[in-house]
Structure 1
Amino acid sequence: MPRAGSPFLSPPKHARRRRRRGPSLSIVFTAIVLLGGLAAAGYAGVRAYLDEDERLPAVVAFTQAWERQDYEAMYRLLDVKSQRANPKISFLADYRRANRAATVEKVRVGRAGPLLSGGKVVVPVTVETKDFGRLPDREIEFTASENEQGEGRVAWTPALRLPGLREGEDVRRRSGAPPRRGNIYAAGGKLLDSDELGASIAGVAGDKPTGLNRIYEERLAGKRSSTLRFGDRVIARVKGTPGKSVTTTIRLGLQRQANDALGGQLGGIAIIKPSDGSVLALAGLAVSAPQPPGSVFKVVTAAAALHYKKATMGSSYPARSFATLSGAKLRNAGDSACGGSLTTSFAKSCNSVFGPLGAKVGAKRMVAISKKFGFFEQPDIPAAKISTIPEAAEMKDAIAVGSAAIGQNTDQATPLQMASVAATIANKGVRIKPWLAGTKRKRTRVVSAKVAANVRTMMIANVASGTGTAAQVPGVTVAGKTGTAELVSTGDIAQNAKNTTAWFVAFAPAQNPKVAIAVMLPNQGQGGTNAAPVAKRVLQAAL
């Protein structure tokens, strides 16, 4: 390695040839006398001590820069003759072409050998490529010299671009015809893009694929046969492989019914199978337009309050129209007074209860459990946006935490995310990250089975006798929660559907869940009035 302060590392352009200092003459004389009959060896040892050679460090620095893919640094280490023969633009282009042809991903250099006669240094080099794997290990012989300033420099020709390359040879890759591309299928075996809604998820293939075609491009496209040549010599070959098809979890019929349930109005619906996290249908703005979730977020808050023991199923709360947090009033919808048991407070969607409960849980814990429920996580779904609540540091007082706990503040969620929240409760407190295709199943224990069962009890009450009665399905017990998210403050203005987003989340049958659903209708009023009936239609179709 180059020594600290070496002109090899920072060569002064105006420097004269350095004067190399050695020990005093008396020390030199003593060294020669001690070596006695080994005069030749003694002279070589003293010569090395007196005159440090910069050629080997130059080769080491050159190969290390190569390993970093720092071609500018490599060029600066070339000797004058090499730079004249290979202008920098040509030097950089030579490496770019060779790397592209060989599909180079990484270069690893081994320990440089000793400096040999004529300034030769041998360095083992390994090259990893995308298409051809690891090329045969070879050693490259470099030749180094010192310039007038005593700085080490490397002689270079294009043959040094890759190990095994010879003078005059170019690096070429020849690929065969594109292989047969795989298809994307819906759950029933039909092509996903045979349906307009399915096509929006499948996306398009091509140079800039979208949707599932982008996510699974490598699998679907397969691999061309390819041959790597140095000049006329074949260095490596790979056989082509046909593309493999992808089968998704989407039920095209259910997706059409979900889309029909929207009735042409702006909104989004996501349907998940709780037991395995598979996404059964996505309609409208199911993944792409996060909105304030409003009171459907109370499913998370209820779970947090029970999990962190800030409430029990035996807890009771006074009936009131608002709660005061940090000196500010957190009011119930329409200034209605509500309270009672935890289950009744949930069924009636009491902000005056769940805002303070969120504040008791605290900002850090609310964020922590939200993350377990899937907030802040990038979904593995095309075009899906991340759902968030404020970070703990942003919730500086009780009113900020309380507002977030009822789905306001700056909470943002997609129907996919809220369907996943419902599915987690349905799956006894275990969340499985929603998926459309593939084999990955990320499982997270969010809350205990007991806590999940208690939240389920509250959700059943919401549909049976609370704000979600419009989602009742004859002969089926539905567990759900309504939400009416304020887009602007509605406390002091006349009711206007455009000021709120209507939400409903549910799973059914409550005791043996087959589907979990979230419905979101931006600027369309009350969750119980507008979103719950839509959810009922979709649940009937799904079951």
Structure 2
Amino acid sequence: MAGGILLLSTGGRPGELRVADAYAKAFAREDAAALYPMLSDDAKARIPFARFAALHRAALATATVTRILTGSPHRVDDRHVDVPVTVRTRVFGTIRATLALAFTGDGDTPGVDWRRNLVFPGIPAGATLSRSVELPPRGTLLTRDGQVLAKGDARTPDPAVADIAVETVGQLGPIPADRLAELTALGVPADAKVGMSGLERALDTKLIGRPGGRLTAGAHLLASRPPRPPKAVRTTIAPSVERAAVAGLAGRLGGVVALDPRSGELLAFAGVAFSGLQPPGSTFKMVTVTGALQDGIVKESDTFPVETAATLEGVQLQNANGESCGGSLANSFAESCNSVFAPLGAKLGAEKLVATAERFGFNHPPNIAGAATSTLPAPDAIGDDLAVGSTAIGQGEVLATPLQMATVAATIGLGGRKPHLTVSIDERTDNTKLKPVVDPSAARTTGRLMLDVVRYGTGAAAAIPGVQVAGKTGTAELQSTQRCTPDPANPESCPDTSDATDTDAWFAAFAPGGTTKRGVRTPRIAVGVLLVRAGAGGDVAAPLARGVILAGLKK
């Protein structure tokens, strides 16, 4: 501090050196906003800040900069100061060069006579930074047991897993506009083919390897390095579980996800597992009841009227097919009573309902690259109690993927711990040690309610002898599926156009559930199943999930 006071108070260092020192520090921070005020008036007149900042960002991306270190400036003469700079890059290695600063102005406030070559050290006056880059051969994708899912330019699989490679590997394609900046900074050529879907997208940065090439400033070579191929990536895909998912989907429009909650490993996925955003219907009641239990507005011992519908804001929300249900909380959940859970959601309120959903992962991008974000509106955008009640039963403007609903089930199975998901064996973690995102007691109660769904409720088709399966069905209405009663005087006033294919079928589950003498079981598998316009979740999605769960437990 004393040295700093001396410099400022005595002028012991020339103004150019003081400015150069500050400029060097801001340059190392990649802080264009701090650099720009140090430019001379003439330089600012030549280049507006937006263009100045854009040129610096482009240079950093071109050079694939990961870190900048600057040394002590030293005077060349009265108007020139050199700053030694070390630049570490992803593609070209470490570059050591000089940032040659020229100054104009008098006294203690000289300005940097900025020119475009100052975006990067070592660029001669009048020259510009450019690169030529090439990719190594794309990395090999393996199953968890080492079989080849995709290899070489043709992405050829081993014959033994060719059937599941079609579903899991995904496609390559041109760089999307929304990834151009990210991949340019990694050194990927603009004309490269990159992962667009499936494992190719989820593991794209691992499969690209380290690009190589030449970084030049005009005719001057700043650095060069050959490309380095990536190691083969061993994925978390279990062939037997994947085959069960593909067989269960049977070419229908929908998606299936199976994961191990303990490690976050995705064991299988098929169809629109990552991208199929649809209203989740009553599977969302897992979120609603957890929030209500956590907030203390409902208890496991509570009972409810047996009704066919609930009235909110003067509008009836009917149970599926107008059925009567209610009674205990367990029975209401097992029979998926809208007449219970829509009012319960309205009582919980939009703010707490949304907050609970967000703890489960809604409105946040999943940590599987390329997977769609499941969403619901902000609390103040949902609307009145009717809208909140509709949201609470997975209708309204709620949208979810099978991946998201499998994550909700896994979180409940882990006692409120939201698993960190991965498709790479190297990135699996012990999710049982994570901090809970929702109250563990509430999560355990929801898990018990889910057991009853399969024991005697709407999810009975997912039951497995000797295994306690905890699940939740969903039948999401895409338009009204309720049969109306026509006016006797005008039979055509209410034509019967209802159709089971006006609903999405859902099922989310984990297994095994329940308790042992040692405490609550830790589930080994969680699933999310969606079949678009396929009918009722208990009829078509639950049996599919059963087959996937069986395969996962045998893995």
Task: Give the TM-score range, shorter chain.
Answer: 0.7 to 0.9
- After TM superposition, give the deviation of residue 374 of structure 1 in Å: 1.3
What is aligned with 1:20? Answer: none
Change (3 A) 1:245 1:319: same
Matched length? 477
Query: Residue 420 of structure 1: CA displacement?
Result: 1.1
Q: 1:145 to 1:196 in 2, by over 3 A?
A: farther
Alignment partner, residue 187 of structure 1? 144
Q: CA deviation at 1:445?
A: 1.0
For 1:44-123, what aligned pairs fall within 5 Å after superposition?
Answer: 77=42, 103=64, 119-121=79-81
Report the Cα offset of residue 436 of structure 1: 1.1
The residue type equivalent to 1:306 in the other structure is L
Q: In the alignment, which residue of structure 1 is the partner of 2:506?
A: 503
Unaligned runs of 5+ in 1: 1-47, 84-90
Q: Which segment drifts farther, 215-224 or 257-266? A: 215-224
Aligned equivalents of 1:429, 1:157: Cα separation in 2: 54
Q: Does residue 364 in structure 1 map to residue 325 in structure 2?
A: no
Could you say what secondary structure the match of 2:194 adopts? coil
Distance 2:94 2:321 in 1: 69
- Deviation, structure 1 residue 200: 4.7
Q: Does the Cα contact within 8 Å between 1:185 and 1:247 map onto a contact in 2?
A: yes
In the alignment, the residues of structure 1 paired with residue 537 and residue 115 of structure 2 have an alpha-carbon distance, to the nearest angstrom, of: 73
Question: Alpha carbons of 1:124 and 1:362: their partners in 2 closer, same or farther (altered >3 Å)?
Answer: same
> Are 1:140 and 2:125 an aligned pair?
no
Contact 1:419 1:517 in 2 (8 A): yes
Name the SS of the counterpart of 2:467 in structure 1. Answer: coil
Give me the whole-angstrom Cα distance separating, in 2, the residues matched to 1:353 and 1:318: 8
Q: Does 1:208 align with 2:166?
A: no
Q: Given that residues 372 and 444 in structure 1 are in contact (C-alpha distance below 8 angstroms), is that contact kept between their aligned partners in structure 2?
A: no
- In structure 2, the residue matched to 1:131 is 91
Question: CA separation in 1, counterparts of 2:57 and 2:282?
Answer: 56
SS in 1 for 2:527: strand
> Which position in structure 2 is the counterpart of 1:413?
400
Contact kept, 8 Å, 1:112 with 1:124, in 2: the verdict is yes
Letter matched to residue 449 of structure 1: P
- Post-superposition shift, 1:180? 6.0
* CA deviations over 1:373-419 (Å, ceiling 9, x no partner): 11112123354211112221112221111111111111111111111
1: distance between equivalents of 2:89 and 2:375?
39
Which residue in the other structure is 2:5 paired with? none
1:458 pairs with 449, 469, 473, which one?
449
Cα contact 1:380–1:434 (8 A) shared by 2: yes
Q: Give the structure 1 partner of residue 479 of structure 2.
A: 488
Q: 2:304 aligns with which of 317, 325, 328?
A: 317
Quote the Cα distance in structure 1 between the aligned partners of 2:538 and 2:116.
76
Looking at structure 1, the residues matched to 282 and 249 of structure 2 have their Cα atoms a distance apart, in angstroms, of 21
Match of 1:540 in 2: 550
- How far apart are the structure 2 equivalents of 1:427 and 1:170? 55
Alpha-carbon separation, structure 2, partners of 1:538 and 1:352: 31
Q: Match of 2:376?
A: 389
Which sections of structure 2, spanning at least 5 residues, go unmatched? 1-10, 47-51, 151-156, 174-191, 485-495, 515-520
Letter in 2 for 1:333: A
Q: Kindly tell me: are residues 173 and 377 of structure 1, through their superposed partners in 2, closer, same or farther at Cα, counting changes over 3 Å?
A: closer
Q: Tell me the secondary structure at the aligned position of residue 283 of structure 1.
A: strand
- The answer to whether 1:530 aligns with 2:540 is yes
- Residue type at the aligned position of 1:509: P
SS in 2 for 1:380: coil
Report the Cα offset of residue 427 of structure 1.
1.4
1:302 and 2:289 are equivalent in the alignment:
yes
Pair 1:174–1:506, CA change in 2 (3 A): closer
Shift of 1:509: 2.2
Give the drift of 1:205.
6.1
- Whether 1:467 and 2:458 are equivalent positions in the alignment is yes
SS at match of 2:96: coil
Please give the residue correspondences for 1:428-443 in structure 2 after superposition, counting only pairs within 5 Å: 428-437=415-424, 438-439=426-427, 441=429, 443=434
Partners of 1:181 and 1:244 within 8 A in 2: no
1:471 deviates by 1.7
**Matched residues in 1 for 2:368 and 2:505: separation?**
24
Shift of 1:349: 0.8
Q: 2: distance between equivalents of 1:101 and 1:453?
A: 51
Structure 2 vs 1, CA of residues 328 and 76 (structure 1 numbering), >3 Å: closer, same or farther?
A: same
CA contact (8 A) 1:142 1:154 kept: yes
How far residue 203 of structure 1 moved from its aligned partner, in angstroms, is: 3.7
The answer to whether the 8 Å contact 1:185/1:248 transfers is: yes
In the other structure, the counterpart of 1:287 is 274
CA 1:468–1:65: 2 relative to 1, 3 Å: closer
Q: Post-superposition shift, 1:501?
A: 0.8
| Per-residue deviation, 1:144 | 4.0
Q: Choose from 234, 237, 246 the match for 1:259.
A: 246
Asked if the contact 2:65/2:88 (under 8 Å) is kept, the reply is yes
Structure 2 CA distance for partners of 1:132 and 1:335, relative to 1, 3 Å:
same
Distance 2:321 2:418 in 1: 34
Amino acid at match of 1:519: V
| Alignment partner of 2:525 out of 515, 518, 538 | 515
- Residues 139, 456 of structure 1: alpha-carbon distance in 2 compared, 3 angstrom cutoff: closer
**1:209 counterpart letter in structure 2:** V
Q: Any conservation in 2 of the 1:229–1:235 contact (CA below 8 Å)?
A: yes
Cα drift, residue 350 of structure 1: 0.7
**What residue number does 2:468 align with?**
477
Deviations along 1:142-179, one digit per CA (max 9) or x if unpaired, are: 26479xxxx98949796x6754566899978788x865
- Quote the Cα distance in structure 1 between the aligned partners of 2:77 and 2:212: 44
* CA shift digits 1:258-307 (9 cap, x unpaired): 11112222221111112222111101121111111111111111111111
Please say which structure displays the higher CA radius of gyration: 1
SS at match of 2:427: coil
Distance 1:395 1:253 in 2: 42
| Distance change in 2, residues 1:274/1:128 (3 Å) | closer
Q: Does the 8 Å contact 1:59/1:154 carry over to 2?
A: no
Equivalent residue for 1:10? none
Name the SS for the 1:271 alignment partner: strand
Q: Secondary structure at the match of 2:317?
A: strand
Cα shift at 1:368: 0.8
Which residue does 2:165 correspond to in 1? 198
Asked if structure 2 preserves the Cα contact closer than 8 Å seen for 1:419 and 1:518, the reply is yes
CA drift at 1:253: 2.3
Structure 2 CA distance for partners of 1:127 and 1:479, relative to 1, 3 Å: closer
> Helix, strand or coil: the match of 1:298?
helix
Counterpart of 2:550, as a letter, is Q
Cα RMSD (Å): 4.3
How many angstroms apart in 2 are the aligned matches of 1:450 and 1:97?
51
Change in CA separation of 1:65 and 1:404 when aligned onto 2, cut-off 3 Å: same
Contact 1:317 1:340 in 2 (8 A): yes
Distance 1:327 1:265, change over 3 A: same
Partner of 1:87: none
CA distance in 2, matches of 1:173, 1:182: 23
The question of whether the paired residues in 1 share the 8 Å contact of 2:277 and 2:399 is answered with yes
Encode CA deviations 1:167-219: one digit per residue, 9 max, x unaligned. Answer: 899978788x8656532211121123323543554345681211444454443
Distance 1:96 1:347 in 2: 56
- Conserved? CA contact 2:80–2:100, under 8 Å: no
